[in-house]
Amino acid sequence: MKEINDLILPEEVLYADDHEWARMEDGIVTIGVSDYAQDQLGDIVYVELPDIDDVYEKGEEFGSIESVKAVSEMYMPVGGKVVEINSDLENSPELINQSPYDDGWIIKVLPDDENELDDLLEKDAYIAMLKGSE
Amino acid sequence: MSKKTLLNSWHRSEGANMAAFGGYDMPLWYPSGAKQEHLSVINNAGIFDTSHMALLTVKGAHSRDLLQFCFTKDLDHCIGKKKTPLVEGRCAYGAFLNEKGEVLDDAIVYFIENETYALVVNANMGSIISAHLKRCSKSYPEVDIQDLTDKIGKIDVQGPNAALFLAPHLSDPESIFTHMPYFSFKGTFDSNSHRTGEVRFRDNTPILVSRTGYTGEFGFELFMDSDHLIHVWHTLVNEGRKKGLLCCGLAARDSLRTGAVLPLSHQDIGPWPFINHPWHHALPFDESQTGFTKSFMGDEALQQSRNSVYVYAFVGFDLRKISSDRSSHVFDSAGNDIGTVSTCVTDMAIDRHEEKIYSIASPDKPEGFRAKGLSCGFVRLTKPQEYGTILELKDGKRSIKVMITEDVRPYRTARKSVKEMLTL
């Protein structure tokens, strides 16, 4: 288990309370799960992805990731329409363990309301939350 | 506050993901991950700290009589196809039941030497089983029961190359590994026994080496005085790592044992009659498979509760699993709720190919075979089922189809001879 200080937590993404991350680029939000989440879950063996064009509200469940330990739901950090899914995860779900912020991204979303990103946590606030839940 | 094995700080310093199990703070997996750990035990070998398990000794003129009354296996009819008596150097798997035929715990009984037996029971069960035996021993005078859990360390080395990893560290591996069938052992952890000289670690530490384990694969369980545990662990791990020996946590142990159709006590066996389940070898059935060859605590209750609870192994059609808590239920093809799920894990070394299940170790696996894994586990049902029956398992979120089965992971190596495994 990684110590909090050993977690990879990039500055340029925002974090949700339930450990998804979101990165805004050119009007599209890329979503994944944090290094903390993948470390806690252990080996990811299966990812249930939504379909392209599915629309979800902020906080709604959009898929699940299955690790050796359990099946965990993923929730939308922002509401919007799914415009791309990471289909590499179908055959290589371990990309989430190996590269949670790059090759292991999960979906890309056209957000309904960019202001919803404001509710997410920056790195320091996320670390503080992790420390509080220890 | 969880108890710790002597290797706890080592596990933490290695970055293991820790969790409470059986009252102990134990590694679930190391940074290599549970999947690699599981596969390593199928392909090569893995090493497990199993010092959380409890060890009792039962000594005295009536020790065997006490065990014959309390333990489900008939110690006078249990070895091999001919069911010969348990002799020194052999061990047997069974369970301790209460008067209602319900499982208190499962155990392996080792016949150490004249009037001396050792019992390995589950974590935190030492005091409970020891108290149970003491209560029963009133009819069997002069039996001495000791709980040595905190004095004895235990390490499991499991996998096809287990003997290769162990051999360089034993004083005389050739003689130790000669005539060492499944469920036999040599040596002892007790320095005051006539067995003491049989097996020594290279540094002279007396150890008990047993051809057992709980993974379904070839391998050994090592018992030693806890003073020697850390040293023996370091030696085996540091040398073994050079050839790919992987430290394994409880997650891999759980998925390996489930694929091998071995129960987890207090989960797949527990406070219900121990009668309709895949582990009939743990009961003293006579040739008719209806009566018992001995009388023992709980036997009458078992005969009277033949229509109660039915435990079966199942295997799924892909790797997806459901949670195995109380929210999970089992449904038959007519949609009737017929029971609950006690274990549901993924055996990552197996997969289906044209209806048949292969392991990555199967010699007859199809060309290019790649195992993604299959869900497997145990269900506790209110009705008997035929093997091959398809049932649906549902938790609050997901449903999966599974098949009732007699066996799960093919081509397991647990029963192979040491000679065969050393010449691979």
Chain B residues in contact with chain A using a Cβ-Cβ cutoff of 8 Å: 15-18, 28-29, 33-36, 251, 255, 319-323, 345-346, 348, 373, 397-398
Rounded to whole angstroms, what are the CA distances from B306 to B71, B111, B288, B290, B301? 19, 31, 15, 10, 9
Asked whether the predicted pLDDT for residue A63 surpasses 90, the reply is: yes
Q: What's B342's domain CATH number?
A: 2.40.30.110
Is the same domain home to B244 and B315? no
Asked whether the predicted pLDDT for residue A25 surpasses 90, the reply is: yes
pLDDT in tens, A30-56: 999 999 999 999 999 999 999 999 999
What was the pLDDT predicted at A69?
A: 84
Identify the closest residue of chain B to A93 by CA–CA distance.
Answer: B372
Structural domain contains residue B421: no
Identify the closest residue of chain A to B324 by CA–CA distance.
Answer: A70
Is the same domain home to B369 and B295? no
User: Is the CB of residue A120 less than 8 Å from the CB of residue A111?
Assistant: no
Q: For residue A3, with 0-12 CB atoms within 10 Å meaning exposed, 13-18 middle and 19 or more buried, which class applies?
A: exposed
Q: pLDDT 10s digit of each residue in chain B, 424 long? A: 799 999 999 999 999 999 999 999 999 999 999 999 999 999 999 999 999 999 999 999 999 999 999 999 999 999 998 999 999 999 999 999 999 999 999 999 999 999 999 999 999 999 999 999 999 998 898 899 999 999 999 999 999 999 999 999 999 999 999 999 999 999 999 888 888 888 999 989 999 999 999 999 999 999 999 999 999 999 999 999 999 999 999 999 999 999 999 999 999 999 999 999 999 999 999 999 899 999 999 999 999 988 789 999 999 999 999 988 778 999 999 999 999 999 999 999 999 999 999 999 999 999 999 999 999 999 999 999 999 999 999 998 889 999 999 999 999 999 999 999 988 5
Residue type at B167 in one-letter notation: A
* Three-state secondary structure readout of A42-62: CCEEEEECCCCCCEECCCCEE
What was the pLDDT predicted at B291?
A: 94
End-of-domain residue from the set B247, B274, B304: B304
Shortest CA gap B12–chain A (Å): 8
Q: How far is residue A130's CA from residue B168's CA, in Å, rounded to a whole number?
A: 46
Residue type at B176 in one-letter notation: I
User: Is the CB of residue A108 less than 8 Å from the CB of residue A82?
Assistant: yes
Q: Which residues pair with A31 in a beta bridge?
A: A22, A107
What was the pLDDT predicted at B308?
A: 85
Nearest to B18 by CA among B328, B249, B284: B249
- Asked if B16 lies within 8 A of A1 by C-beta distance, the reply is yes
User: Which residues of chain B neighbour A39 with C-beta distances below 8 Å?
Assistant: 17
The domain total for chain B is 2
Asked whether the predicted pLDDT for residue A106 surpasses 80, the reply is: yes
ipTM of the complex: 0.88
End-of-domain residue from the set B275, B304, B333: B304
Q: How far is residue B74's CA from residue B280's CA, in Å, rounded to a whole number?
A: 12
- Asked if A71 lies within 8 A of B16 by C-beta distance, the reply is no
- Residues 31-70 (A) with a CB less than 8 A from some CB of B: 39-40, 42-43, 45-46, 64, 66, 68-70
Structural domain contains residue B379: yes
User: Which residues of chain B neighbour A2 with C-beta distances below 8 Å?
Assistant: 15
Is the same domain home to B7 and B28? yes
What structural domains and CATH numbers belong to chain A? 13-132 (2.40.50.100)
End-of-domain residue from the set B304, B336, B358: B304
- DSSP string covering B141-205, please? -S-EEEE-GGGEEEEEEESTTHHHHHGGGBSSHHHHHTT--TTBEEE-S-TTSTTGGG-BBTTS-
Rounded to whole angstroms, what are the CA distances from B299 to B272, B283, B304, B369? 13, 10, 9, 46
Asked whether the predicted pLDDT for residue A14 surpasses 60, the reply is: yes
What was the pLDDT predicted at A134?
A: 63
pLDDT in tens, A76-88: 999 999 999 999 9
Is the same domain home to B293 and B317? no
The residue among A3, A43, A61 with the most chain B CBs within 10 A of its CB, best to mutate, is A43
Which tokens in the block code for residue B89?
């150097």
Is the same domain home to B150 and B287? yes
Range of the domain at B201: 1-304
- Asked if B251 lies within 8 A of A68 by C-beta distance, the reply is yes
